[in-house]
Structure 1
Amino acid sequence: YDSRVLPLSRLMDILLAAEKALPAIEDMQVPTRIVHIPLSWDDAATKLAIEKYMQSVRKDAPWCPSNIEFIRRINGLDSIEEVKRIVFDASYLVMGLGDVYLGAPVATPVDPRHRLVTTKYNPARTWTPENAVGIGGAYMCVYGMEGPGGYQFVGRTLQMWNRWRQTASFTDGKPWLLRFFDQVRFFPVSEEELLKIREDFPLGRYQLKIEETTFSLREYNAFLADNNASITAFKTQQQASFDAERERWRESGQADYASDLTVAEAAPDSELDLPENGRALASHVAGNVWKVEVEAGAEVKQGDTLVIVESMKMEFAVLAPCDGRIHKVFCREGGQVSAGQDLLVLVSE
């Protein structure tokens, strides 16, 4: 807003006139699109994110090792299949865009009986795969890009943002896919199918099914009234299960989180008892040890990956600078390391 172009008094007159022209709230109808989007249920990429979280952040979190099982439990559902049915039956009304970044939708199911409720990760994940689909509170979100996050995973879908080109799904110069008041409906695909879709979609080789319609508040209120009994029963059961889950946390000590990660111990180079032709290999960054690919006594070749450190949402590999044998390993998977800290000793051949 630039007051030099449009004085504040004039702006207020325009807004007040527009408000007076609006119909009564109960008579409002807004344009809405039903956008059918593929979902790879319990996708391998989201499982990897959970594995990383358990190893480098919090191994005993109540939502691990399965976010979907946690969603089932905290909502009082009988089976994981019931969670799956609800996710695929739901019509998620987009209430906001860019909540996380890059056109990420924040949406809530139109039918209250589809509003699965969860807590978020505490502490948050350090890595979330691009376009992971998660539930936090009563909202569904699709992560627009890789990054940290806290919503409970149900799977992964296609791109919400296309920075490269305009296609049938990305029009009018807008790189984001969805609009306010869109209704997202998921349909199941395999991991392999989704990978192919993700390859084709930004290039315009995969077309979404999109239905143009309207959303009537009067009709919606009538729907809520007609289904009040079953909606109330669902929410009552859900709240009881939510409270019971939180009580289990208190009884088990999981309600209050305290990190048990320790920095790997290693002496400075000057204090290391290095064997002949031995050299210490250090981490270039501070972070968490994601993978230790070798053990003492292992024979390695130049360029082999020895340790992978996760830092700043990226992975940094410590490579063997020459052929040789691992003499000693100081770090462990899930442990924290500081920049310049020695991770292992390699004896060159």
Structure 2
Amino acid sequence: MLHAVKCTVVEAGAQTTVQDATGRCGYWDVGVPPSGAFDDFTFALVNAAVGNADTAAGLECVVRGPVLSFDEDTLVCVGGGVTEATVDGRPIASGEVVRVRAGATLDVGPVDGPGMRGYVAVQGGFDVPRVLGSRATFILGGFGGVEGRPVVSGDVLPLGRRENQAAPGSVASLLPELAHQWELRVIPGPHGAPEHLTDEGVQSLFAADWRVDHRADRTGVRLVGPMPGWARTDGGEAGLHPSNVHDSAYPVGGIMLSGDTPVIVGKDGPSLGGFVVPAAVIGADLWKVGQLRPGDTVRLVPVTPAHAEVAAAERRDLLDAARGLTDRRPHTVAVEGAPDDEQPADTVRPPALADRPADGHHPAYTIRRSGDRHLLVEAGPASLELTIRVWIHLLAEALREAGPAGVLEVVEGVRSVLVKVDDAVLPLPALAGRLVELAAGLPDPAAVVLDVREATLPMAFDHPEAHEAMRRYQSVNPTAPWSPDNVEFIRRVNDLPERDDVFGVVTAATYLVVGLGDVYLGAPVAVPIDPRHRLVTTKYNPARTWTPQNAVGIGGIYLCIYGMEGPGGYQLVGRTVPVWRLIAEDPTRDPKPWLLRQFDRIRFVPVSAEELAAQRAEIKAGVRDLDVKPATFSVAEVAALEEEASEEIALVRAHRRAAFDAERERWVS
């Protein structure tokens, strides 16, 4: 047996994690972010410098890098914001390959700018276990890397095998330049004027010099600047604020407007949410998002898809040079149909790749770019129509079954599908054409019966942890209409007589899961099947920075169970059991860690906080499962209910809309 080289963490640094270049792929639809190196370009370069394969894992650090030693001679390369690295006190240069002798000490040093993150590549890579296909650390989820956490002093990390590697070589000339003033090239859309923003609002988005907020991390980078120029007063059923939309998937690098705050979705960001996305950072510039430092300034520069294609080809060429496939000098590549650099890009989003009217049982739909590596299909009107939701599901399933080469992720929203591609394999226009073909062959969603499950979940209303989240938020926005009590706000905005009536409606409802991964890790977004149970509220503006794991909240007409601790914007009503459980492989169990599925039906049973704690522990330990039984769902079921109670439903909707409008007027005044 070959002896494994080991790396000892002498000092851990501020937050050092094991990451790889690409992270996890294929789990965005259940709320598992890709993770991986935030500045994946620099990471790939230093990894190639020591001869590693693209899949090898390295270290990412912030503020203060680690101090490492090795039990055998080892090649290392550092990059990113690392400028003062030393080996036994002797300075080493970023991008240069250095042999660290056995027993010598590599001190990565401070990461104090420009740039936010530093990287360490080691010959052979760090041989930690793969979880869901990747060694990348996802701290919020508690998995990947070293036990799902940053490294700590005293950790001993095994290195991978070092035979049959590529020849090492300097990448110093290829490393990108870091700064405090940044330009991020973006493609406008998929959302924009005139539906969500005014023309002036779109132009101001790209004219502003944005400042990076101190609340910038791997989940997302908040930007501080002018108020968005909204074209509407609210989000309708999706929420009180004009930023609210029916839940739709985000691309990494998508710039969502969380209330009035732009947030660039990061490598550990949420896959699904209910906010407008007026632009997305192009793939070639995503590395820059990982180097944005609080206080830096950012200009969002709109470019055309042709510009993005050129930039992507240039990046692939540089990485080929780093891997030794070409000589290690910067290249300029030619792309057929490349744009004239002097031609200014329009702030208007590119034309839709497909725009089809309603036809028979097929709804109207559009297909737009969401950046240069994603397509967003949006169907029907901007309201909840369960017939549309089933059509979306059928389209997503048809694409998964067709399995065209280059499709990496397929994520269902309430009235949308987001598809991620390998842009070197599958051009977005070609994918749009294939989706149009698949859509034409879908069955009538009104005639489809889905085999699902009904899950009965315990709910501790007014859970202390939910109130702790409300309490913490008061330091962020003490005058918000939902402060200090979210439940009282829900009661008021729905004009219910008593506060406990909110809990009564939630208990009486049967919820239908219409999305997974809304705030991570299999977290369901669900809507009451009976319209009379659809409480209307809005999301926080700005969002909370902390939410307890498995808190239950309502935003718009939707209910969400938070899959893990983290940020969030739904109004909290209580807490339930885990909906995600990553346990060791067991042939007697369903191997999927997400415990709920699309179109599952959910009922809640009130329990005390103490009873909930016991059930939570049992499910987390794997000695108890969710209480589920087989069921079905069909649009025809809902249609029959709505016909039978049409007058009462109309009265309830009108009453709640009036209360909603009155609350909005109080808020504005």
Alignment TM class, shorter chain as reference: 0.5 to 0.7
Contact 2:456 2:627 in 1 (8 A): yes
| Residue type at the aligned position of 2:660 | F
The CA distance in 2 between the partners of 1:24 and 1:137, in whole Å, is 28
Q: 2:632 corresponds to which residue? A: 214
| Runs (5+) with no aligned partner, structure 2 | 1-402, 408-424
Q: 2:530 corresponds to which residue? A: 111
1:3 aligns with 2:405: yes
Equivalent residue for 1:60, pick from 479, 484, 489: 479
Q: What's the C-alpha RMSD, in Å, of the aligned pairs?
A: 2.8
| Residue type at the aligned position of 1:38 | P
The CA distance in 2 between the partners of 1:41 and 1:192, in whole Å, is 12
SS of corresponding position for 1:238: helix
Q: 1:268 corresponds to which residue? A: none
Pairing 1:88-127 to 2, within 5 Å after superposition: 88-127=507-546
| Residue type at the aligned position of 2:473 | Y
The CA distance in 2 between the partners of 1:247 and 1:7, in whole Å, is 48
| Residue type at the aligned position of 1:3 | A
The CA distance in 1 between the partners of 2:644 and 2:636, in whole Å, is 12
Contact 1:49 1:128 in 2 (8 A): yes
Q: 2:469 corresponds to which residue? A: 49
The CA distance in 1 between the partners of 2:549 and 2:495, in whole Å, is 29
Seen in structure 2, the aligned counterparts of structure 1 residues 228 and 12 have a Cα distance that, compared at 3 Å, is same
Seen in structure 2, the aligned counterparts of structure 1 residues 160 and 166 have a Cα distance that, compared at 3 Å, is farther
Contact 1:75 1:242 in 2 (8 A): yes
Contact 1:42 1:154 in 2 (8 A): yes
Contact 2:490 2:537 in 1 (8 A): yes
1:201 aligns with 2:603: no
Q: 1:227 corresponds to which residue? A: 645
Q: Deviations over 1:77-113 (max 9, x none)?
A: 1111221111011111111111211111111110111
| Runs (5+) with no aligned partner, structure 1 | 252-349
Contact 1:166 1:175 in 2 (8 A): no
Q: Deviations over 1:285-341 (max 9, x none)?
A: xxxxxxxxxxxxxxxxxxxxxxxxxxxxxxxxxxxxxxxxxxxxxxxxxxxxxxxxx
Seen in structure 2, the aligned counterparts of structure 1 residues 222 and 213 have a Cα distance that, compared at 3 Å, is same
1:175 aligns with 2:593: yes
CA drift of 1:166 comes to 5.6
The CA distance in 2 between the partners of 1:187 and 1:198, in whole Å, is 14
Q: Which moves more between the two structures, 200-209 or 130-139?
A: 200-209
Contact 1:165 1:203 in 2 (8 A): no
Equivalent residue for 2:488, pick from 69, 82, 85: 69
Seen in structure 2, the aligned counterparts of structure 1 residues 247 and 209 have a Cα distance that, compared at 3 Å, is same
Q: 1:319 corresponds to which residue? A: none
Contact 1:167 1:202 in 2 (8 A): no
Seen in structure 2, the aligned counterparts of structure 1 residues 18 and 166 have a Cα distance that, compared at 3 Å, is farther
Q: 2:164 corresponds to which residue? A: none
SS of corresponding position for 2:637: helix
1:32 aligns with 2:452: yes
Q: Deviations over 1:243-269 (max 9, x none)?
A: 111111223xxxxxxxxxxxxxxxxxx
| Residue type at the aligned position of 1:164 | I
Q: How many residue pairs were aligned?
A: 248
Contact 2:522 2:580 in 1 (8 A): yes
Equivalent residue for 1:148, pick from 567, 570, 573: 567
Equivalent residue for 1:132, pick from 547, 551, 565: 551
| Residue type at the aligned position of 1:46 | A
CA drift of 1:52 comes to 0.9
Contact 2:583 2:622 in 1 (8 A): no
SS of corresponding position for 2:500: helix
The CA distance in 2 between the partners of 1:123 and 1:115, in whole Å, is 24
Contact 2:487 2:502 in 1 (8 A): yes
Seen in structure 2, the aligned counterparts of structure 1 residues 167 and 19 have a Cα distance that, compared at 3 Å, is farther
The CA distance in 2 between the partners of 1:236 and 1:44, in whole Å, is 34
Q: Give aligned-pair identity as a percent.
A: 49
| Residue type at the aligned position of 1:99 | D
The CA distance in 2 between the partners of 1:239 and 1:36, in whole Å, is 30
The CA distance in 1 between the partners of 2:511 and 2:611, in whole Å, is 23
CA drift of 1:241 comes to 0.4
Q: TM-score, normalised by structure 1?
A: 0.65
CA drift of 1:216 comes to 2.2
SS of corresponding position for 1:30: strand
1:244 aligns with 2:662: yes
Structure that is richer in helix per residue: 1
Seen in structure 2, the aligned counterparts of structure 1 residues 166 and 143 have a Cα distance that, compared at 3 Å, is farther
Seen in structure 2, the aligned counterparts of structure 1 residues 250 and 4 have a Cα distance that, compared at 3 Å, is closer
Seen in structure 2, the aligned counterparts of structure 1 residues 109 and 4 have a Cα distance that, compared at 3 Å, is closer
Seen in structure 2, the aligned counterparts of structure 1 residues 100 and 45 have a Cα distance that, compared at 3 Å, is same
The CA distance in 2 between the partners of 1:209 and 1:84, in whole Å, is 21
Contact 2:530 2:638 in 1 (8 A): no
| Residue type at the aligned position of 2:445 | I
CA drift of 1:211 comes to 1.8
Seen in structure 2, the aligned counterparts of structure 1 residues 211 and 144 have a Cα distance that, compared at 3 Å, is same
The CA distance in 2 between the partners of 1:37 and 1:53, in whole Å, is 27
CA drift of 1:14 comes to 11
CA drift of 1:150 comes to 0.8
SS of corresponding position for 1:95: strand
The CA distance in 1 between the partners of 2:602 and 2:610, in whole Å, is 22
Seen in structure 2, the aligned counterparts of structure 1 residues 12 and 30 have a Cα distance that, compared at 3 Å, is farther
Contact 1:167 1:203 in 2 (8 A): no
The CA distance in 2 between the partners of 1:167 and 1:178, in whole Å, is 18
**Highest relative contact order (Cα 8 Å, sep 6+), 1 or 2?**
1
CA drift of 1:214 comes to 1.1
The CA distance in 1 between the partners of 2:586 and 2:503, in whole Å, is 31
Pairing 1:316-335 to 2, within 5 Å after superposition: none
Q: Which moves more between the two structures, 214-223 or 113-122?
A: 214-223
CA drift of 1:70 comes to 0.5
The CA distance in 1 between the partners of 2:590 and 2:667, in whole Å, is 49
The CA distance in 1 between the partners of 2:555 and 2:625, in whole Å, is 29
CA drift of 1:66 comes to 1.1
Q: 1:337 corresponds to which residue? A: none
| Residue type at the aligned position of 1:198 | R
Q: 1:295 corresponds to which residue? A: none
CA drift of 1:184 comes to 1.1
Contact 1:34 1:182 in 2 (8 A): yes
Q: Which moves more between the two structures, 227-236 or 207-216?
A: 207-216
CA drift of 1:73 comes to 0.3
| Residue type at the aligned position of 1:34 | E
Contact 1:118 1:138 in 2 (8 A): yes
